Amino acid sequence: MFSKESLFAISLFPYLGFLWFMTRSRQMPRLALIGFYFLLVFVVITIPAGIYAQIHYGDQLANIDWLHGSAESFLTISNILVVLGFYQAIAKQQNINNPTDSQSSLANEPNQQEENLEKYGVSAIAPDWSRESLTQWWNPSRQLLKAIRNYQKWSKHSGIIAQLFSKKFIVEHRFWSVITGADIPINCNLGGGLMLPHPTGVVIHPNAIIGPNCMIFQQVTITGIVKIGGHVDIGAGAKILSNVTLGNHVQVGANAVVKNLDAPDESIVVGIPAKIKFPS
């Protein structure tokens, strides 16, 4: 008969095969896969802990409470990572299967989308999420947006796991807000595909509504009671004050002061106070 120690050692080989297969398949949620790998840390810790228990206490590891509990804590961490990984994957799949009303409405306007893309190269309706994707870790403006997006996603869910993720992204939002020097509340209404090439000094009121694929340069202030359409470029130092509506594909000049204005699609807004112009 095999001893318990022999069975434990033999069981590692199929487990390593499982890890190899799941890593190669790329089907396992990343956080869950990290949890399964972290289980190896528990195994590595358990072996010297068992030897220590035999040498110093002359007893099995399971009978030495503080030592056994310390080793088991690594198993607990592994389990938490696995659960969080699958929970996150399920939530993501639910978002795909149940799109929001704004996403569903896009299917009813294909001709308008095609026209926008042909004329401007950027849609004023469909968010281009690649504009926010991280190409490298040190990208403060995109990290700030990532924290905002993740918080808003997890804050819609209930339960302790969602609360933990929400707290995590609140901390990330505060960190990247300090790094960027921007004041963009975590509950802002930001359309997808937002670009902040130089986010320093950008201030956005949480009640302002910003459409998809906009670009906002440094030192821009956007107050409440402001509605900005899709693919709107706002130049450095511009001030978008109360009672302002900007249509799609609008360009706001640098240092413009915009107040009590309703700018139609494809217009140009410049000056102090700002006035509407159209490209010749």
Before 199, cis peptide (omega within 30)? no
**Are 74 and 22 contained in the same domain?**
yes
Cβ-count burial of 7 within 10 angstroms (0-12 exposed, 13-18 middle, 19+ buried)?
exposed
Chain segment 223-245, per-residue pLDDT in tens = 989 999 999 999 999 999 989 99
Most confidently modeled range among 8-12, 46-50, 272-276: 272-276
Q: In terms of pTM, does the model score above 0.75?
A: no
Chain segment 104-163, per-residue pLDDT in tens = 444 445 555 555 666 778 889 989 999 999 889 999 999 999 999 999 999 988 888 888
Q: How many domains does the chain have?
A: 2
179 in any annotated domain: yes
Please tell me the predicted confidence (pLDDT) of residue 107.
46
Please tell me the predicted confidence (pLDDT) of residue 95.
62
Please tell me the predicted confidence (pLDDT) of residue 106.
44
Assess contact for 201 and 182: CB atoms under 8 A. Answer: yes
Could you tell me the CATH number of the domain that includes residue 145?
A: 2.160.10.10
**Are 155 and 234 contained in the same domain?**
yes
Please tell me the predicted confidence (pLDDT) of residue 55.
87
Q: What's the chain's average pLDDT?
A: 87
Please name every residue paired with 239 in a beta bridge, in sequence order, or none if there are none.
Answer: 221, 257
Assess contact for 230 and 213: CB atoms under 8 A. Answer: yes
Query: How many Cβ atoms from other residues are within 10 Å of residue 133's Cβ?
Result: 11
**Are 148 and 59 contained in the same domain?**
no
